[in-house]
Structure 1
Amino acid sequence: MPVSTALDALSLPPMQLVSSSWPWRAVLYLTVGALPGGPAIVLLMRYGIEEPLPVLLAAVSTLVAGTIVFGRLERWRLRLVDNVPLPDAHRPLHRRGWRHTLRVRLREQVTWREIGFTGISTIVLCWLDAVVLACMVGYPTVALLSPLHERDRPPLAMLVSVGMGVGLLAAAPYVVTAWAGARAAMARALLGPRESDRLGERLVEVTRSRARLVDAFEGERRRIERDLHDGAQQRLVALNVYLGLARLEVPAGSPAHDPLVKAHELAQRALSELRELIRGVHPPVLTDRGLAAALHDLAGRSPVPVDVDVRLTGRLPPSMEVTAYFVVGEALTNIARHSRAGRAAVTAGLHGDRLILRISDDGVGGADQQAGTGLAGLADRVAAVGGTLSLFSPPGGPTLMQAEFPGVVR
């Protein structure tokens, strides 16, 4: 059975363990781990008694600032007693700059685990490493060498000292390897990636991917709207003009008059339907004048009177504007079809970094998000840009729909 960690090495036969490299690797691992204790005790003895608060603040600042570097060093040091590489649990950075790095790292659970592990290692574990090395390596070595430099000691005392040294040295491979393996297991548990971290990374990537898809989809909608507006709509307008001129040239009693009138009416209807289609794909008023003007346009075309109160300064992200527009459009359509309302209201405004959109009516209420009125699709559409949709519609009314969109940059 291959041995990959110091803890696995403890299952080897005694002679095989002693003759292997694992005890020596464990000694080196613990020696490196005990090094931070030296500077810490010097600083504590030199400044900590007279000025404890500055020393404490400096220690905490150093701990937080150096924790990621310490984590990387610990992952590298772990290879001494663990042949399985420990991957970095931090997410890759997509932008440079210390502000972005600090913002991303402080939101990661592994960063706080690294801070805790660094603190425990500096305050407790390094001293335990030193104690294990002193008891299992240092003292036995000194005891075995004592006959060479303490010749005036009584023979019995020297014999006891040498015997204790031999006993401790015989147990040292097991004790040192076991403690190093336990330290390494603790480091792997705290610094290694966890399933929750991986799920968080996947969630972040899914959110970014969804945002990219939404932006690409809205860009394609704008392209289709532009092609229809500049192509098919212009040809239908020209066709209507020519048919109108032809109607003026054909007498009323002519056999061609009635078919020409019918063709003109069909062309006008096709032009009207195309304009509605363009407005449904991507309303030109939204592209040209922004969300406030587009909401007023929606309210003006609603069969139910709508009070509009929009308090926005400047433009919002395109995907957010389009989603807000279609939320209001679908809500006003449902109000006209189902609510029997006498009046509706639309309000929109910024609260912090969030766009809050509210649509209310004085109708009969009883709207259900799962009843197939398009509300479930609206909720999915709002969620696609990171927002939330809530509905309050008790039987008898009134009805209030609220959509929140985060991430507005003023």
Structure 2
Amino acid sequence: MLRTTARALAYLVSSLVAGSIGLVWTLAATLGVGLLGITQLGGPVFLGAAWITRQLAGVERHRAGWVLDQPIESPYVPVPAGPVRQRVGAVAGQPATWRDLAWLVVLFPLGLAGGIAAVVLTVVDLAAIVAPAWAWAVPNPRAPFPVDPLMTTTPGRFALSLLGLLLFAVVCWLLRVLARGQVTVARALLGPGTHRRLVEHAAHLAETRARVVDAQAAELRRIERDLHDGAQARIVATGMTLALAARKLRTGGEAASDVDLARRQLDDALAELRRLVRGIHPPILTDRGLHAALAALAADSPLGVELRGDPAERYPAAVESAAYFVVAEGLANAGKHAEAASCTIELVRTATTLSVTLTDDGRGGADPAGSGLAGLRRRVEALDGTLTLTSPVGGPTILYAEIPCES
């Protein structure tokens, strides 16, 4: 508590100086930019003033960390290189530029009031605590009651010291409250705002879209390769077998074995096509929904799987597909790598999201950056969702996906 109070006191007292510097700089910058704005120096002066303002605001973010235990996060969006006019527009277009300036103006009255209150509270309380050491030297025969007995008598001075000790906790609390109140305003003005969050969100969406495009291209190549090496090869072999059987029939030979072989080859090709279709989008998802598809997946798994969720709930097709493949990959990894014996799948629907949690009792130690999970993460992030893996050594492993699912 004493350390927190000391940092709060340091923040409030230093605000007296910081507020004065901020006010002087704001007036000087506003006057300088206003006078030179109509000249060729207007752009460079504005950029220079904005840079200094950001440095001062950065100091304020670090000072706020004395109370918050960590500095306030920077709110700025990177300014692209280019002509002065373009950079001026980019800096001026950021709300953080003007919120920095607003804070430097607001800091002066806040710092003045909070700093003076902190100094007065601290000095008065400390003075009361050490009253026996100094009060005897300043007699005041005209002091009113009860100041006169407290200051001029030895029992009174010790009583004053005891009162100061009793009020010490209250003074510490008041200092922390004053500091937190000022820091709350600082965080509102100096912290990241809606503009930066929107820019970061747009950049994130652009990145995930690019990854999804790459993943789709890779998926198309895989499908083409599987068709060429699997079903197509089997169908070609079937055609050759049937051609051989037809030749035998024309010459009066026995073709029954070739027909049987062709039938088996067609069965294998059909099974290959079905496997390929299930890898793209299982038909059961469309016909019966996510819960039924996961129940079928669990039935085919060698693990003991418990499925929790509403069997009648339906979700958008893209959401069901993403959730299905998250569970499919999780079950495969649990059986292949984690040496798990049982697994729990839980589906939770809220007003805006579908949460999928897969927990296994395996040995843990899974790599969150593995290639399989990276593909799943791209699939989930393409829907603006999140995928996390918690897998301490020794287990359990928890695969958690949260996918936006508007009702």
TM-score, normalization: structure 2? 0.43
